[in-house]
Every structure is written in C-alpha cells, then in structure tokens.
Structure 1
C-alpha cells in the first residue's frame, strides 16, 4: 500500500509539473501575442466559429477562431452567427471598420474612444455586444438597406443591387508593418443580365482615418457604385484645384449612440473615373464609368468621441480639404 501511495504521489507530481509547464507556455504565448498586437499600428482580421454545426441558415455552438482566409459557406447569410461581427474588420488607432460578408456587403464603423487596437476583443462576450457602449467604444453606424460608408454595389433600375447572387466569395486578411488589408474575391456576381468577377481590396494605414478601396471588375459594366448612407445631414461636395479629385461628405447627428452624437463621413473619388454623382434611395451615390481597370477611392468616418478627435463641422471640413490638397498634389494618400 505504501508503495502505491508513493507511486501515486510521484505521478501527481509529474502531472502537476507538466500542467505547470503548459500553463507557463500558454502564458508566454498569450504575452507574445499581446505584445505583437500592441506593437502593430494597424490590424485586420476575420474570425469564424469552429466546433459547432450548421442548422439551416444558422451556425449553432462552437467557438470563434481567427483565420487568414475564408471561402464563405453557401448557407451563410445575415445573422447566421458564424462570423464574429458578421465579417472582416480592420482598424488603426483612430477608427475601425467592418464589412458585412453576406448579401448586404455594407461597411460599418466602429467608433473608438481609445487609441489602441480593439478588434480582437470585439464581439467575444456575446455575438452583438458591440452595439452596447463599452470602454473602447461601439458600433456607431446604422447601415440599414444602404452600402454604409464606402461600400460598393451596382446602381441599376433606380436602386442599388448588393450581392444576393454570387457564385463564391473568398475573403483574405493581410497584416504588414505599413498597412492592413482585407481582400475579397467575388466570383460570378450576377446583377441584371451581367455576371462578372469582382476583386476588392480595402486597406488602412497607421495614420489617418481613411480606408483605401480598390475595385477591379473582370468585365465592363455600368453602374458600379459606392456612397454614403443617408441619415439626414446635408450633402457636401467639393473638388480639388486641378479638378482631378473630389469628395462627397456629411456631418452631423447621425449615429446609433444618441440623437445628438455627431459623425462625419466622406468618400474621395477620382473625377476621371466618375460617371455621375446622384441621389439614391438610401445612399448619396458616386457611380463609376464602365472599366476593367482598377477603380481607386477613399472613405472615412470621424466620430466626435474619438480620442483627440474632430468635434466640429468646421474642423471636419478643414480635415477633408487637407486630404483633398494631398490628393491634388500626389494623386494618392499613402
């Protein structure tokens, strides 16, 4: 019996040492991951459920895990609970964005009260907890039936066709020292009588609030469009001195926070690529000429509660005009 007790204690000691070693290793890994994240100036991610199962259009059970690339399942749609905060996200110290990776394909804004990276923690404590105000901030934009801020679709028959009919959608995230990007490939996107492939690249940089959007269609179609969701504030339009770049913008009380909370939104576009700027049902629209060349535009959101942020319409327009001058001189913001 004494020998058995000694053997048990020895085994327990070995197990305890191994558990302690694993715990130490896990702590080191977590610390390294945190230090890496803190050292990044930009960040993009896509996080999906694993370990559960599909029940119709909903994914039940499982835990979120970050992946570098995702081919969207056929049964995934809005509110399937499969992708954390419903799509890829990207951020820098000033602002965060997310794209609904489903038929809506709208782009939303995460308003940030801090100047640190927060996306890895968003939506982890409840699928849509980011709608509730937290220390870091919250989701501040209601996209509804629009494209949100800087989203893209096709203007046709006096409305915007989103991405209801797509053969396959593949999203990839890329993080480097100079930028973070989300690349999305839409295969066999069908609108009206046309079916094309569309490549989209959305990049954010260490400085500034803007995202650089690059759209490359596989065939020429009319009506490829972006815009700003309509929430009441008057549309503002300006053009650079050389006429090569212009922007549309809105500023005012237009967030989900409360009826007085202010947000500025803008889209910068190359006038050579413009077909027309018109008013849609849900969006202020910038419609591009048919092309197979890459279309480049920029969009941004500036929230008044952002740390050291822009808090007046005058300062917002001054900020936009500075960016417009940079585009006027350099034809790029990055």
Structure 2
C-alpha cells in the first residue's frame, strides 16, 4: 500500500512539473494573452492584387497586400486604383497621415476617434470610403492643389512644383519599437532648370502627433519649400521670435471635411529657413539652399480626437509645450 501511495505521488509531481514547463515555454494561451504587445505606432504600404494594368489604371483588383518596399510603377498616377489610400500611411495612437505617392505628393490627415492602430482597416471596404465617417475616424483634410500638411516641393517664381517629373521613386516602410514611418528616394526629380535626387524620411513616435521629417538633396537646390494648406477664414499663426533654435507656423479653426476644428503646425529650425512665403495654395516655409540635410516636424491636433484639444487656447498651449521641448532638447 505504501509503495502504491509513493508511486502515485511521483506521478503527480511529474505531471505538475510538465504542466509548469508548458507554461514557461508559452504553450498556455492565458500566458500568451497576458504578454500581448499593444502597438502605438504603425506604417504600411499596400498594393492591389488580382487585376492588371490598362494604360495608367489598375483594373479588376480583388485584394490588397502589404509590402515592405516598392519601386513605384512608371504608369502609376493619381487614381490609378493601385495603392490602397493612394500611398503610404503612418500613425501613432493619436493621429494618422498618408502621402499621395504620385505627382501630387501631398500629405493628408486621418483623424482618429480611437487610440488603437487603424491603418490596416482604411480603404478596405471601398477605395475612398475613408472620406466618410468610419468607426475609427476619417480623412479630415481637403488638400486640393496644395502640399497638404508638411509635404515638400520646389518654389519657382510664384508656383510650387510637386513631382510631375521624376525618373523613378523607391519607398521602404519601417516599423520598430521606437517609431514607424517611411523612407522615400525620388531619383531624378526635375523642376525647371534643376534635376536632383531627393531622400526623405518621415517618422512618428508613440504618444506623439508629430511627424519628424528629414530632407536631403543630392546637390544644393534653391526654392525647396514645405507648407500648410490655406483655408478660407483661417489665419496663420507665427512664432519665430527670440534667440531660440526652433520656431513654428500654424493654423487653427474650421478647416476639415467634417467640418470642425483642426490645428496644424510645422516646427522648423530658424537657421535653415530664409523666409515665410504667401503661396497661392499654401503658407510656405522657404529653405536655404544647402548640401546638408533639413529637419522639421509637422503635426495635427483635431477636436474629434479621443481626449482631443477642442479650443484655440488649448492648441496654443500645446504648441508652447512642444516648442519648449524642442528648444530644450536640440
């Protein structure tokens, strides 16, 4: 009898040890669920599948797939139906952005009413369904012929050249624990009498609304600009006083497709900028010609955002805090 009890005890100990070992190597589902990672940034680029090109339109696409990198097809242009929401997107738990990866090359805003990652849902149920209110939010900015928010071009005389003439465009998507974004190389960007390569880095960090932007040209170029789209009845806000390194231009007011209140800002290094320019469609920052990289940040603050800033006073307070942080760190 004593032997039977001893054998039974040994079996119980062995079974218990095996069960505990399974938990340690992650076979227990409860353990896996408790260690799930909550993403706060994400970037993607998604191309159509299942169809075929007919001249400059991709017809009959049946689905989309994400890619880590892409040489943009020569025939691709606006409304080719090839890129989901027309280009790459990047987001934090606060806000999302997209860039039209065609001749327009403008940057648009996805306003979010949730702090979850949402870009993988956008444009899956109809090519431009995101212009209407969705469970995650919606596209909120009317870009028109402008740069949108924080995109880049070249000012020649009174006109901003976008990317009508480029030999080729390559894009790579980046996601890691610290940030998400995209790197783009425009080979042979031609504007009037200048042809250059342009490298661009766009990235966003967790809990931030700001996209860090770095521009590098293969040679010094006059007229490189960034800007904020103009909206009727919305004034420009400028802070470039004092001896601090950073300044900003911003707008705040009813300037969305909803319509409701939106704040947009570009923070820039004052020693990299020649002047502010009143463009036909944008409030522009004109950069100094340089062979060094140019760095700036842009961001959007929407009243529809979860726990969003809902007043101009709140927006100005937010700008003050961001400016103080930039000037104290850099």
Sort the Cα spacing of 1:116 and 1:36 in 2 relative to 1 into closer, same or farther, 3 A. Answer: farther
* Match runs of 1:26-105 below 5 Å: 39-62=38-61, 63-105=63-105
Sort the Cα spacing of 1:140 and 1:288 in 2 relative to 1 into closer, same or farther, 3 A. Answer: same
CA apart distance, 1:242: 2.6
Contact 1:240 1:324 in 2 (8 A): no
The higher radius of gyration belongs to: 2
**TM-score, normalized by length of structure 2?**
0.88
Q: Which residue of 2 aligns with 1:316?
A: 315
CA apart distance, 1:241: 4.4
Do structure 1's residue 252 and structure 2's residue 253 form an aligned pair?
Answer: yes
* Match runs of 1:77-226 below 5 Å: 77-226=77-226
Sort the Cα spacing of 1:308 and 1:278 in 2 relative to 1 into closer, same or farther, 3 A. Answer: same
Question: How many angstroms apart in 2 are the aligned matches of 1:176 and 1:36?
Answer: 18
CA apart distance, 1:127: 0.5
Contact 1:90 1:98 in 2 (8 A): yes
User: Any idea what the Cα deviations from partners look like across 1:245-266, whole Å, max 9, x if unmatched?
Assistant: 10000000000012xx000000
Question: How many angstroms apart in 2 are the aligned matches of 1:37 and 1:244?
Answer: 41
Question: How many angstroms apart in 1 are the aligned matches of 2:99 and 2:293?
Answer: 20
User: Any idea what the Cα deviations from partners look like across 1:84-127, whole Å, max 9, x if unmatched?
Assistant: 00000000111000000000000000000000000001000001
CA apart distance, 1:224: 0.4
Do structure 1's residue 328 and structure 2's residue 327 form an aligned pair?
Answer: yes
Question: How many angstroms apart in 2 are the aligned matches of 1:98 and 1:40?
Answer: 18
Contact 1:240 1:328 in 2 (8 A): no
Question: How many angstroms apart in 1 are the aligned matches of 2:36 and 2:142?
Answer: 29
After TM superposition, where is structure 1 displaced by more than 4 Å over at least 4 residues in a row? 34-38
Contact 1:96 1:112 in 2 (8 A): yes
User: Any idea what the Cα deviations from partners look like across 1:130-149, whole Å, max 9, x if unmatched?
Assistant: 01101110000011000000
Q: Which residue of 1 aligns with 2:304?
A: 305
Question: How many angstroms apart in 2 are the aligned matches of 1:301 and 1:223?
Answer: 25
Q: Name the stretch that deviates more: 236-245 or 121-130.
A: 236-245
RMSD of Structure 2 on Structure 1 (CA): 1.5
**TM-score, normalized by length of structure 1?**
0.86
Contact 1:38 1:116 in 2 (8 A): no
Sort the Cα spacing of 1:191 and 1:36 in 2 relative to 1 into closer, same or farther, 3 A. Answer: farther
Contact 1:109 1:139 in 2 (8 A): yes
